[in-house]
Amino acid sequence: MSNASSEAALGSHRLGGATLFALSARHVTKRFPGVLANDHVDFDLLPGEVHTLLGENGAGKSTLASVLCGLYKPDEGAVLRNGTQIRLTSPRHGLQNGIAMVHQHFRLVDRFSVAENVVLGHRNLPFRLRTNDLENQVAEVAERFGLPLDPKASVGDLSAGQRQRVEIVKALYQGAEILLLDEPTALLAPPEVEKLFETVRAMTQAGKSVVFVSHKLGEVVDISDRVTVMRDGRVTGSVARGEADTRKLAELMVGRDIDLSPRRSRVAAQDTLLHLDNVGLTRDGVDHISQVSFSVRAGEIVGIAGVSGNGQRELAEIVAGLQAPTSGEILINGARVNGIGIRNVRKAGLAYVPEDRLGTGLAPSLSIVDNLVLTRKRGFFVDRKAALDEAEAFIKQLEIKTPHAHTATRKLSGGNSQKVLLAREIFAAGDNSRVLVVCSPTRGLDVGAVEAVHKLLDEARAAGKAILLISEDLDEVLTLADRVMVLYRGSVVHEALGSEVDVELVGLAMAGLS
Amino acid sequence: MNVGNWRVDLEPRLTSPKWLYAAVPIGSLFCAFIVGGVFLAFTGHSPIGTFALLIDRGFTSTRGITNTLGTATPLICTGLAAAFAFRMNLFNIGEEGQMYLGMIGSAWAGIALAGYLPGFAAVPVVLLTGACTGALWVLVPAVLRAKMGTSEIVSTLLLNYVALNLVNYFIFGSRGFFRDPTTSFPQGRVIEASARLSSFGSTRTYPTVIIAVGLAVGLYWFMKRSNYGYETSVLADSPNTARYAGMNATKLTLSVLLFSGALAGLAGAMYVVGPAGKVDPGLLQVGFGYAGIVVAALARYNFMAVVLTAILFAGLREGGASLQISTNPVPISIAVVLQGAVLLFALGGEVFRRNRLRVRRVQQTVGA
Ligand SMILES: Nc1ncnc2c1ncn2[C@@H]1O[C@H](COP(=O)(O)OP(=O)(O)O)[C@@H](O)[C@H]1O
Ligand SMILES: [Mg+2]
């Protein structure tokens, strides 16, 4: 599609007619049993550029990055470094060629210090380690690239963002010229993402090149010099900076037009269905939730934003009746439901979509049919006939991709299993169920599935449900919520109307800086 | 693995076709017989002749199949007991001990209660008592597991040894209630005649085989259809999901282990109302409890398949034992070798059900 423009982008780097790419993939093909993970993929990385690899889950991004860093050997095709073919045999071999990858799942030793982790696996260490020297060297590298780190700290005590910095410093310390960052923002809060971007810029200024792997549309436009989009193992397009708009990228990712614009309530909110009054949870002397009060009315979505681990899980479980609050009151439809257990809370009118779809919301080895009756009132015998009819209706109506209604839910993709869960909790939960608690409903889902889930929630709202949306994905909260609250260390620290949100303030509040 | 110009790979199957579920066990059986045949040939026996005799004495002759069904009866029960618990990820390996306790409990009822009961009630009461004592024997491990998460594997196994010593004590170590006072040779006191079943004709098959098969069918149907079966399958699959759905995991765990113990106890009770008629230390030699675990595993915890597997096992044992008294006696160990081979091949066959064997020509690739 944009061949002409990428040619133009490359033009400035042409040296005597031949473009010198720092790293290239030529027709790289990699198969796994039953999947063609990379199908004749071409990819070029210029020196000093940030090149984003964008694509839905399973598009083959990690596979390509792993081929480029020497972890996987391609079945066909070649990897070129500075125009010369290299045959990498291991990640260490990749490192010798100046290529390092920071994996989605960190590979650090918890009990070692930061400095020890950084030098771990380094071949040319002196026989006697001078801890002080090492720590100074590590601190120096970290400083140069704007990565605040205490080299003496134990890695086990660090946050996800800090661990990621350790991985990056490690790669830089070992002399990487090319960094492959696999979904580096997946675990970060907005301010941390901003910091990471500064680091990436510092690296490219120092002449290093970065491959930035992501499935999040929103963030890639800011940081990238070029975006290459993958779908189903193939490259579907490559867009230079300035031409990349999210809608176009989404279309390349999914293969059809996607609407991710904000959705707000179109009816006036009505009576209060869920009310929390000064709710608190103290366990082992720690306040997990303190003095949280709010209400959710019929026909609105109240969104709770916040970085993971600030009490979201506890709040959801308290409302759902899985944990009893240690103080305060919870009212559903005006009736007090404190500590009466989840079965009774459901009877009072609650439906709950937990964050952990497959391990909590669904029984993974059971069929779609069996999962639909999970939160239903069941007699001595289970009526699967009715459930089967219902399952088939949902499969058709929500376009759930599955061989049939008796397929185990673990065999479905994330988006399809989430549709099963939402269908059960929204439509099949019984007539009096009007309060819906939803946690991170699109975590790990593809753009297309995100759109479908958001549409479902919007429809449920329009049908008069009171929805509490707890999500670590700020974009999601901003897209859907009529009112936004920020949870930080178990307290609500910021509140705003969905249509009037100041994104910067919300970001600061999420980091505890309000 | 490379063989010359060919490359042999095992690739995980994404789905296993249905016919494989039947083909793998049959193939395993076939391979086991081939291994057994080689073994026989080396020891100077005719493989074909011996197997023909084995099959005749274990399965196809009237005498053989009725003996086999008799032996299979308690084995079906212990197999069901193991399958019932294992499919819930509750590893009750104390069927052996629970079966002994079932024997003790039912013998007690047969001696102490049966005389006061109307004739038609005697056998059911004796069987039920045996089931209850079997369940009682697993009560402590079950409570520990359900309430505190203590591993049931160790506790149920250890209780097997206690149960074994208990039987030995009742018969050989004391002159108590269970010991026959009239003989000087230590043996069990015979239960009331009203509490005993007679075998079909002159065979060694007892009507209890109908109960055992009926139980398998009933359990299969009940666990598939009932809410109880549904809730246990959710809990087995994902404890968090069960909690989310508001199920009572403690109650479910407890009930599954107790029922498993009851099924094993029933095996002992069937032995008492049938062939033994008393507390019989002979049961300690047979190992029906442990064999039940193997049967359940081979049947992949499917209740219907337990019946077939138990009959197969019993037949191999019966047929193997009778080979000793043929014209060219074959040692009993051949039956043991066969059983071992069936087991090994069945487990090995799993690999082929889950994976696909692929043979490809190695091509000279440019990049690699
Ligand atoms: N080690 C592996 N074994 C088998 N299949 C794999 C493996 N790694 C990736 N795949 C499959 O290859 C495809 C591409 O995966 P991946 O490269 O991880 O995608 P992405 O990083 O874009 O989400 C997926 O269908 C995935 O299931
Ligand atoms: Mg990936």
Dist. CA A306–CA A469, nearest whole Å: 12
Asked if A434 and A346 count as a contact pair (C-beta separation under 8 A), the reply is no
- What domains does chain B contain, in order, with CATH numbers? 44-330 (1.10.3470)
pLDDT for A217 equals: 80
Q: Which of B244, B247, B301, B354 best tests the A interface by mutation, with the highest count of A CBs <10 A?
A: B244
Q: What are phi and psi of A297, to 5 degrees?
A: -100, 160
Beta partners for residue A41, in sequence order: A28
Q: Return the amino acid letter for A501.
A: V
User: Given an 8 Å threshold on Cβ–Cβ distance, is A366 in contact with B368?
Assistant: no
Can you give the pLDDT of all 368 residues of chain B as single tens digits? Answer: 667 777 777 777 766 677 777 787 788 888 888 888 888 888 888 888 888 888 899 999 999 999 999 999 999 999 999 999 999 999 999 999 999 999 999 999 999 999 999 989 999 999 999 999 999 999 999 999 999 999 999 999 999 999 999 999 999 988 889 999 888 889 999 999 999 999 999 999 999 999 999 999 999 999 999 999 999 999 999 999 999 999 999 999 999 999 999 999 999 999 999 999 999 999 999 999 999 999 998 888 999 999 999 999 899 888 888 888 777 777 777 777 877 887 788 777 777 777 777 777 765 444 33
Asked if A226 and A249 count as a contact pair (C-beta separation under 8 A), the reply is no
Residue B87: how many CB atoms within 10 A of its CB? 18
User: Minimal CA–CA distance to B304: which of B363, B366, B220?
Assistant: B220
Q: Which of A87, A356, A366 best tests the B interface by mutation, with the highest count of B CBs <10 A?
A: A366
Q: Return the amino acid letter for A79.
A: V
User: Minimal CA–CA distance to A472: which of A272, A264, A316, A287?
Assistant: A316
Looking at the complex, does the CB of residue B234 fall below 8 Å from at least one CB of chain A? Answer: yes
Q: Whose CA is nearest to atom 1 of ligand 1?
A: A32
Residue B285: how many CB atoms within 10 A of its CB? 7
Q: What are phi and psi of B277, to 5 degrees?
A: 75, 10
**Beta-strand relationship, A209-214 and A178-182:** parallel
Looking at the complex, does the CB of residue A380 fall below 8 Å from at least one CB of chain B? Answer: yes
pLDDT for B261 equals: 98
User: Given an 8 Å threshold on Cβ–Cβ distance, is B246 in contact with A341?
Assistant: yes
Looking at the complex, does the CB of residue B360 fall below 8 Å from at least one CB of chain A? Answer: no
* Percentage of chain A modeled with pLDDT above 70: 94
Secondary structure E strands in chain B: 2-3, 6-12, 355-361
Dist. CA B107–CA B177, nearest whole Å: 10
Question: Which pTM does this prediction carry?
Answer: 0.79
Q: Tell which atom from ligand 1 comes closest to the C-alpha of A104.
A: 21
Domain ranges of chain A: 270-349+434-442+464-514, 360-433
- CB-CB neighbors (< 8 A) of A343 in chain B: 246
User: Given an 8 Å threshold on Cβ–Cβ distance, is B367 in contact with A363?
Assistant: no
Q: Tokens 């070798």 label which residue? A: B337
**How far apart are the CA of B29 and the centre of ligand 2, in A?**
44
User: Given an 8 Å threshold on Cβ–Cβ distance, is B367 in contact with A374?
Assistant: no
In chain B, whose CA is at the least distance from the CA of A78?
Answer: B367
At A438-490, the pLDDT tens digits run 999 998 788 889 999 999 999 999 999 999 999 988 889 999 999 999 999 99
Q: Is the CB of A37 under 6 A from ligand 1?
A: yes
User: Given an 8 Å threshold on Cβ–Cβ distance, is A374 in contact with B238?
Assistant: no
Beta partners for residue A201, in sequence order: none
pLDDT for A10 equals: 44
Dist. CA A30–CA A64, nearest whole Å: 8
CATH architecture for segment(s) A270-349+434-442+464-514: 3-Layer(aba) Sandwich (3.40)
Sorted by sequence, the CB contacts under 8 Å of residue A142 that are 6+ apart come out as A148, A149, A151, A165, A169
Looking at the complex, does the CB of residue A84 fall below 8 Å from at least one CB of chain B? Answer: no
Q: Complex ipTM, two decimals?
A: 0.85
Chain B from 239 to 298: CB within 8 A of any A CB: 240-241, 243-246
Q: Which of A74, A365, A382 sits opposite B230 (nearest CB)?
A: A382
Dist. CA B265–CA B267, nearest whole Å: 5
* Maximal C-alpha separation, chain A: 81
Ligand 1, pocket-test mutation among A62, A101, A253, most atoms within 8 A of CB? A62
For residue A31, the ligand closest to its alpha carbon is 1
User: Given an 8 Å threshold on Cβ–Cβ distance, is B227 in contact with A365?
Assistant: no
**For A492, what's the count of Cα atoms within 13 Å in the CB-facing half-sphere?**
21
